[in-house]
Structure 1
Amino acid sequence: MQVNTALEDQYSDVLKKFRYGRKMGLRSLSEMTGISVDDLRNAEAGTYLPSDKEWALLGQALGFEGSVMQELHFSPERTPHPILPPSVLPVEESYFGYAVWTYLVLHPHDPKRGLLIDTGGIGHRLLDVLDRQGIALDAILLTHGHSDHAGDLSRLGERLPGVVFLSKSDLPLLDAPLPSSLRVREPQEVTDQLHREGWTIDVYPANGHTDGSVAYQTGGVLFVGDGIFCGSCGKPRTPDHFSDSLGTVARLLNSLPAETILVSGHGPFTTVAQERRWNPFYSATLQTESRQK
């Protein structure tokens, strides 16, 4: 098997997230699967590749389908490459050496107006794109409050619009107070407020990774933050929020057209159809009982 290193989450990350969410220790997982603790530990470190049989056992114990897990994570040639519409400009930033996407969405009737969806920590690449294309921001839409998505807004300086949309429950996650020139609005106000300015945007709750996480949809593209990754999803805030994360993945993938393009904060772009096929968190069975070590 060839590991798909293009993904944000490797198979080892997926295993750790499932075990974290299921509140299961390595010893308990070993007893359920017959896989040694050392092999499980090495699998989570990315230095041991479980066999087909072991993936089936791991899936049975942790509540996902082992065959789904293998379909993308060990097939680099299946990495999706959907083509974004011209109105969406992805900018890959480096947040302390960690790759993160921020997005500029151009107004349907005026390409010199735009929305900023997440900040990427606001590095030089985003500022260069804004300067080079002369884009004025109508608003900033934040999927959640983590620093790589909502950090250092003051760097925008004179480019700051008047309003930023961020759930108040995520305000405590910010690494610094918002600039005084910004008014904070709840994401659910986006549709009505920006519709008056010619935008068509829908907002979906995407809690689990944080309490206030949301996803924004416009023009056939869903900006999902860390709610869904290609072949995975963001780590839930606590193990008790794992069911929220699974619910978010299922709700978003079930409520949107198959051709919808998903763009997250990290990793390859994908589509609803592709994630329904090979995202193990979508196919996961919800287990209500907590398994303790």
Structure 2
Amino acid sequence: MPRIPIEDNFDDVINKTQRGLRISDEDLAARAEITADQLAAVKSGTPLYGVIRRVARHLNLSPDALEVLAKKAWYPEQPVLPRGFAMFNTAYEDMTVNAYLVWDTRTRQAAAFDTGSDCQAMLDVLRDERLDLHYVFLTHTHGDHIADLERLAAAAPRAEVWASEREPVEHPDARTFKENAQFHLGEIAIKTLYTWGHSPGQSSFYITGLSWPLAIVGDSIFSCSMGGSPSHFGNQLHHNKEKLMTLPKDTIIAPGHGPLTTVAQEKKYNPFFAR
């Protein structure tokens, strides 16, 4: 798979944080002791590093991590799950979106997580690996993540479609789970975590039984950023800190956009969590 770019630039992080905290440009410029023109410049992507650091402090972001992101000086070391895991990156409008398969190599029981814009590659892996798709889990129901849900469901009619009880789902046979629900695929355990804010029922799935612990997080977290929310930003940030950043440091984070990463790497390089 080609190298997947980091989802957000430094100005995306600044803009979504400012919107989420509902701080006006005038207020932020005054707090950071910068001019309106300087703020406008960094918000439009001009890498004025001194200004970026001042703004970061007043948005409760890590100045060091935000500067590294602005310099494009770091990319997450890609973790490897040698078996029982596949990642799919498909184009959707002007971006790409991730979906995943996880399976038990002994029983061949599998679960899909979202569909992306095109599930054909996922169907190919199911066929080639002779997998039995038991579950389709939805991190949330924004269009880019479930664009091919009906085709996947039709191709595996026995697979159960599951989403959070908080998330609106239009699929007629969808079932809903509560937080900390447990599912199993042979020796693989899947635990649901409510990490909402970006959407009403945005959920993550903590998976054990593979070579490394794995968290499939949808738009809760991206490498160097997180999902935005103009109305529930504080909830999103709180859930990320309390439920995802407290997972074991070697946990692989599989986000809805951008490359794979780990809890340890995000604690060092994500402006929302680095200190």
TM bucket normalised to smaller: 0.7 to 0.9
The question of whether the paired residues in 1 share the 8 Å contact of 2:225 and 2:272 is answered with yes
Which structure carries more strand by proportion? 2
Please say if 1:256 is aligned against 2:254: no
Aligned to 1:122: 118
Please say if 1:281 is aligned against 2:250: no
Aligned to 2:138: 142
Deviation at residue 63 of structure 1 after TM alignment: 1.8
What runs of 5+ residues in structure 1 fail to find an aligned partner? 285-293
Aligned to 1:80: 77
Distance between the aligned counterparts of 2:256 and 2:219, measured in 1?
6
- Aligned residue type for 2:44: A
Please say if 1:195 is aligned against 2:192: no
Deviation at residue 73 of structure 1 after TM alignment: 4.5
Identity of aligned residues (%): 28
The question of whether the paired residues in 1 share the 8 Å contact of 2:68 and 2:74 is answered with no
Distance between the aligned counterparts of 2:111 and 2:28, measured in 1?
46
Deviation at residue 138 of structure 1 after TM alignment: 0.3
Deviation at residue 103 of structure 1 after TM alignment: 0.3
Question: What does the per-residue CA deviation read over 1:17-65, in whole Å, with 9 as the maximum and x for residues that have no partner?
Answer: 111111112222222223332332232222x1122x3233112221222
Distance between the aligned counterparts of 2:20 and 2:131, measured in 1?
42
- Aligned residue type for 1:57: R
Please say if 1:63 is aligned against 2:54: no
Please say if 1:40 is aligned against 2:39: yes
Q: Secondary structure, in 3 states, of the residue corresponding to 2:193?
A: strand
Distance between the aligned counterparts of 2:185 and 2:262, measured in 1?
29
- The normalised TM-score by structure 1 is 0.82
Aligned to 1:270: 261
Aligned to 1:228: 221
> How many residues are treated as equivalent by the alignment?
267
CA spacing shift, 1:203–1:35, aligned 2, 3 Å:
same
The question of whether the paired residues in 2 share the 8 Å contact of 1:165 and 1:190 is answered with no
Deviation at residue 75 of structure 1 after TM alignment: 4.2
The question of whether the paired residues in 2 share the 8 Å contact of 1:93 and 1:100 is answered with yes
Deviation at residue 132 of structure 1 after TM alignment: 3.5
Please say if 1:159 is aligned against 2:156: yes
Deviation at residue 213 of structure 1 after TM alignment: 1.1
Q: Secondary structure, in 3 states, of the residue corresponding to 1:266?
A: coil
The question of whether the paired residues in 1 share the 8 Å contact of 2:99 and 2:114 is answered with yes
Which structure carries more helix by proportion? 1
Which is further off, 272-281 or 71-80?
71-80
- Aligned residue type for 2:103: L
Distance between the aligned counterparts of 2:246 and 2:191, measured in 1?
12
Deviation at residue 69 of structure 1 after TM alignment: 1.7
- Aligned residue type for 2:65: V
Aligned to 1:290: none
